[in-house]
Amino acid sequence: MARTRQSQVSHTAALAALLVAVSFVGSINAGQRSDGGHIHHAAHDNPTSQAANGQAKMPSYTRTVGDYAPPTVNLTDSQGSEVTLSELLSHDQPILMQFIFTSCATICPLMSATFARGQSALTATRDGYRMLSISIDPEYDTPKRLAAYAKKNRAGDHWTFLTGSQDDIGQVMRAFNVLYQSDNKMYHRPYTFLRARSDSPWIRIDGFLTVSELVAEYSEALHSANASLN
Amino acid sequence: MHGFWRRPAPLFLTVCLLIYAISTATAANFVDGDVDAGRTLYWYGLNHQGEPVTATAQGDIKFSGTQFSCVSCHRPSGFGSSEGGHYVPPISGPKIFSPAEADRVERFKEMFQESQPSSFWAQVREPRLRPAYDENTLARALRDGINPKGEQLNPVMPRYDIGDRDMANLVAFMQTLSADIDPGVEQSVIHFATVITEDADEAAGDAVFQTIQTFFKWMNKDTEGDLDHPTFSPGYRSTFLDAYRRWELHVWKLTGAPETWPGQLAEYYLQQPVFAVVSGLTRGPWKRIGDFCDQQRLPCLFPNSELPRLSDVEYGYSLYFSGGLALEASALASYISQLPQRPEQLTQLWHSDPYGEVPAKAFARAMAELMPETVVESQAYSDVDELHATLARMAASSNKGGLVLWPGENIATTIHTLAQSGLRASLIALPSNALSAAKNVFVDVMRERAVFAHPYELPSRYHPRKFRVRAWMHSRRLKVTHPRLQYQTYYALTLLQYGLVHLLSDFHRDYLIELIEHEAENRLNPGTHPSLALGPGQRIASKGAYVVAIDPGEKGGIKALSDWIVP
């Protein structure tokens, strides 16, 4: 089971600067970080009465940091090849991971679009990362369906889509603490996980990220990992 | 100041005229749009030239209409969705082009029936009110993300880059979207049908019918009780009295050749349109009935059929329990391909009727993909004598490869013929519908080597709801002669009931299906399948099968040879 340190981890000045840069009004409180850090809280569900500027938005996600122990389960990628998740995650490379399903209507298309648009920007920041989209509806999401979904999202080679047995996927979901209420996938939440290296903690994001926020979180994770080495 | 107010008219009028001139110059004319082109834009994100539109969500996520479009979130009905704490408001024609006003029933729905974001609960005293959209404010919302009150829409709502012509098309389509309630609904009655084909097993058909009839009877008793006591209102029932309807069942019995079924269905529908078709029992492929359901946009919920229509199934109007015999064939192929000692040769025999042909074709397809090196000899037979002769030849030959047999409709005689054949094949693969007959006549080697697809829950597994459903049936003195069929029927009915409760007075069939998609995975599974789940556009609730063998020592007389296989 995951040991989660309920966040108290700070954003860096880089993240704050990026968030401020994309915001229209100076209302983003990215600067409210303290030594212990903070949790961003969702504000995006509410129509704001700001001026007509589509770029203006509040930070729209909650960020926590924790250690999660991925189970040793065999999953299947969109090519039909078997992948051992713990092995895949043991590689010393940045990982960005989401839990999605291909028929999902409301939140997954946007989550996947963030990954899709983020690919080139992340590569420009630092290449060598791997994106994982793990299906939480594995019986429906066959490798063929995942391949079609990958194509629709113009996924590059560094983006892997995984399915598996219901039990194995259940183990992964328990390990990353993303179980949903009533055992009904329709109640799942938009989680994105991110880590810089195999020994780095996971950043767990609950909510929708913009592309620039994804890149900022990625940069921040890399920066923190480097700092911990020095 | 004084001077201005003493002579206001010329200047004031000039300003007004100027504002009017600017507003009329900037407001485009979004009339005479093409509804079909608007539908294509709504569903597929394609503009009138067939090219994907582009949009931006969250401020910087640029995407194309082929990645997702209006229908993804707002759904075919336009009633929106709620998922994981995110709420997508309804945009059907009557809703979007009318003011959003404080409405007790809508508020109840938002507060207690849908998943809402935290911001909703933070402002629960300020419901989502706004003036009606018109063509121009809708265009502004779609392009710039501003609602008629001048507020920014949620940044999750994409800002679209679409031209005036496409905007006019979309407006035209949205004006038709769930504009009128669907047929089959009257002031105090809602009509449903069930389809039973003449040649379906009579006792089984009667068990299904009795189950439906009992359910309707008790539903109507509850409705009557609530309507008779409008001021007695536990659970705020009195708020929803307008949504109550008496359920009326129509049995659509289909006779004669399947080619004549569409005509018969049309005749029944003409006599009395129904809001949905629920359960039923059919012999033969569901395709003709399914095509009718699609043509009429009529939800046909969970028919008991082993031959569902599997092509173009997504977003269709038939919802199924499983992929039927084709699924069984694929699961058996998958099982065989994973055996430690794969048979080098397989003989596939199938009776020349749809119950034989459909799984035989599916099996051949799956084997070609999974075991291309294995020779599969497929052969149809037209009667038991021909099967007998073929089995005798196989028994006499030195070939001890595997046999896959699809008995078609004549199961008992086929299984008896097989049992008598003395065949010593290394493996005998059969569909689940042969299990009951085989338990009675298979002995020794035949019993040891026979494997069956089993797309249902194992008898040894515990499902709490199974006991509740059985108790419901027993307490209403409903004879449970065909448990699986009757439990499946009960599941279909409870999902229909759930859908109706949540529709309130919005009697739109697409919305009903969307509610069922959402709820199918919750705890209504009566234990017939390991899990029953749908998702947006999904139409098959159970996706896999076990492979089992006969074992009289086990509960239900079978033991699982495999895990749940999802081909």
For the segment A75-90, what is each residue's pLDDT rounded down to a tens digit? 999 999 999 999 999 9
- Listed by number, the residues of chain A in 8-27 with a beta carbon closer than 8 Å to a beta carbon of chain B are 22
Let me know if residue A193 belongs to a domain.
yes
ipTM for the complex shown: 0.87
Residue B32's pLDDT is what?
87
CA distance B380 to chain A (A): 31
- What's the number of domains chain B is made of? 3
The pLDDT assigned to B451 comes to: 98
- Work out how many domains chain A is built from and give that number: 1
What's the domain range around B338?
325-454+548-560
Which site among B74, B142, B146, B152 would you substitute to test the A interface, given the most A Cβ atoms closer than 10 Å to its Cβ? B152
On the question of pLDDT at B183 being above 70, the answer is yes
Residues B429 and B553 in one domain: yes
What is the mean predicted confidence (pLDDT) over A51-69? 69
Tell me whether residue B299 is in a domain: yes
CATH number of the structural domain spanning residue B196:
3.40.50
Confidence of residue B6 (pLDDT cuts 50, 70, 90): very low
Q: Amino acid letter at B248?
A: E
Q: Which residues does chain B have within 8 Å of residue A211's beta carbon, measured at their own beta carbons?
A: 58, 60-61
Contacts of B144 in chain A (CB under 8 A): 52, 54
Residues of B whose CB is below 8 A from A166:
531, 564
pLDDT level of residue B20 (50, 70, 90 thresholds): very low
- The two tokens of residue A213 are 């926020």
Minimum distance, in Å, between the CA of residue B533 and any CA atom of chain A: 8
B46: confidence class by pLDDT, cuts 50, 70, 90? very high
Which residues are paired to B246 by β-bridges?
Answer: B189
Q: Are residues B409 and B552 in the same domain?
A: yes
Q: Give percent above pLDDT 90 in chain A.
A: 64
pLDDT at res. A10:
35
Single out the residue of B301, B366, B335 nearest to residue B496, CA to CA. Answer: B301
Whether B154 sits inside 8 A of A116 (CB atoms) is no
What CATH number has the domain bearing residue A113?
A: 3.40.30.10
Instruction: Among A107, A110, A186, select the one facing B521 at the smallest CB separation.
Output: A186
Tell me which residue of B326, B324, B321 sits closest to B516, measured CA to CA.
B321
Q: What is the pLDDT of residue B504?
A: 86
Per-residue pLDDT, B117: 64
The reply to whether residue B81 touches residue A183, judged by beta carbons under 8 angstroms, is no
pLDDT tier for residue B91 given thresholds of 50, 70 and 90: very high
Q: How many CA atoms, within 13 angstroms, populate the side-chain half-sphere of residue B132?
A: 9
- Cα–Cα distance, B549 to B462 (Å, whole number): 20
CA dist B305 and B282 (Å) reads 6
Mean pLDDT of B418-446: 93
Q: How far apart are CA B211 and CA B51, in angstroms?
A: 50
State the residue range of the domain holding A104: 65-229
B128 & B217 share domain? no
CA dihedral B64, B67, B70, B75 (to 10 degrees): 180
Q: State how far the Cα of B468 lies from the Cα of A182, in Å rounded to an integer.
A: 18
Do B210 and B335 share a domain, yes or no? no
- Phi, psi (degrees; rounded to nearest 5) at A46: -105, 125
Determine the distance in angstroms separating the CA of B346 from the nearest CA of chain A, rounded to an integer. Answer: 25
Same domain, yes or no: B348 and B303: no
B300 and B358: one domain? no
Q: What is the DSSP letter of A200?
A: S
**Does B531 fall in a domain?**
no
Residue A160 lies in a domain: yes
Which residue from A minimizes the CA distance to B76?
A105
pLDDT in tens, A119-158: 999 999 999 999 999 999 999 999 999 999 999 999 999 9
Cβ distance of A187 and B84 shorter than 8 Å: yes
Judge if B363 and B486 occupy the same domain. Answer: no
The answer to whether residue A42 neighbours chain B at the CB level (below 8 Å) is: yes
Query: What residue has token string 């983003």?
Result: A28
Task: Quickly tell me which residue has 């021909």 as its tokens.
Answer: B386
Cα within 13 Å of Cα(A24), Cβ side: 12
Task: Tell me which chain A residue has its CA closest to the CA of residue B536.
Answer: A103
Q: Please report residues of A whose CB lies closer than 8 A to that of B518.
A: 184, 186
Closest-CA distance of chain A to residue B88, Å:
8
* Res. B147: pLDDT tops 80: yes
Q: What is the pLDDT of residues A162-220, one digit of tens each?
A: 999 999 999 999 999 998 876 778 888 899 999 999 999 999 999 999 999 999 999 99
Share of chain B above pLDDT 70, in %: 89
Residues B449 and B496 in one domain: no
Whether B31 and B116 map to the same domain: the answer is yes
- CA B364, CA B382: separation in Å to the nearest integer? 19
Tell me how close the Cα of B84 comes to any Cα of chain A, in angstroms. Answer: 4
Average pLDDT value for residue range B111-131: 67
Which among A42, A185, A190 has CB closest to B521? A185
Our CA-based measurement puts residue B521 at a distance from the nearest CA of chain A, in whole angstroms, of 5
Q: Which residue in the set A41, A184, A210 is minimally distant from B60, CB to CB?
A: A210
Distance CA A222, CA A206 (A): 20
Chain B contact present for A52, CB below 8 A? yes
pLDDT reported for residue A1:
37
Those residues whose C-beta lies under 8 Å from the C-beta of residue B338, and which sit 6 or more positions away, are: B562
| Predicted local distance difference test score (pLDDT) of residue A56 | 45
Percent of chain B predicted with pLDDT > 90: 75
Contacts of A229 (CB under 8 A, 6+ apart): none
Q: Give residue A16's pLDDT.
A: 38
Q: B225: pLDDT confidence band, cut at 50, 70 and 90?
A: confident
More confident call, B550 vs B341 = B550
> Is residue A181 less than 8 Å (CB to CB) from chain B?
no
pLDDT score recorded for residue B460: 92
Nearest to A107 among B83, B151, B537 (CB): B83
- Tell me what pLDDT residue A9 has: 33
pLDDT at residue B334 in the model: 97
Residues from chain A contacting residue B88 (CB–CB below 8 Å): 106
Kind plus residue range of the DSSP H or E element containing B271: helix B261-271
pLDDT tens-digit readout, A96-105: 999 999 999 8
Q: Which of residues 361-420 of B touch A (CB under 8 A)?
A: none
Q: Do B195 and B77 share a domain, yes or no?
A: no
What letter would DSSP give residue B421? S
Closest Cα in chain A to B149: A49
CA B384, CA B379: separation in Å to the nearest integer? Answer: 14
- Comparing B547 with B99, the larger pLDDT belongs to B547
Give A31 to chain B, closest Cα distance, Å. 20
Report the helix count and the strand count for chain B, using DSSP H and E: 21, 17
pLDDT at position B130 over 90: no
Residues contacting B151, CB < 8 A, separation 6+: A47, A48, A49
In Å, how far is B131's CA from the nearest CA of chain A? Answer: 15
B309, B360: one domain: no
Please state which of the ranges A30-44, B313-327, B363-377 shows the lowest mean pLDDT.
Answer: A30-44
- A-chain residues near B59 (CB < 8 A): 22, 54-57, 210, 212
At residue B205, the pLDDT reads 96
Which pLDDT value is given to residue A200? Answer: 94
Range name among A22-26, A111-115, B455-459, B465-469 with the lowest pLDDT average? A22-26
CA distance B564 to chain A (A): 9
Q: A138 and B118 in contact by Cβ < 8 A?
A: no
CA distance B269 to B151: 46
Of A44, A54, A152, the CB nearest to B67: A152
> Is position A13 within any domain?
no
Q: Do B195 and B144 share a structural domain?
A: no
For residue B46, the number of C-alpha atoms closer than 13 Å in the C-beta half-sphere is: 10
Band the pLDDT of B422: cuts 50, 70, 90.
confident
Mean pLDDT, chain A, rounded, equals: 78
CB-based burial, B135-148: b 16+ in 10 Å, e otherwise: bbbbbbbbbebbbb
Report the candidate in A222, A185, A188 with the shortest Cα–Cα distance to residue A206.
A188
Element (H, E) at B112: helix B104-112
Cβ–Cβ < 8 Å for B249, B218: no
d(CA B150, CA B141): 9
Helix H or strand E segment including A67? strand A61-67
Q: Are strands B300-301 and B318-319 parallel, antiparallel or unpaired?
A: parallel
User: Which of A24, A110, A136, A146 to mutate to probe the B interface, most B CBs <10 Å?
Assistant: A110
Average pLDDT of the residues of chain B: 90
B461 touches chain A (CB under 8 A): no
* Alpha carbon distance B324, B307 (integer Å): 6
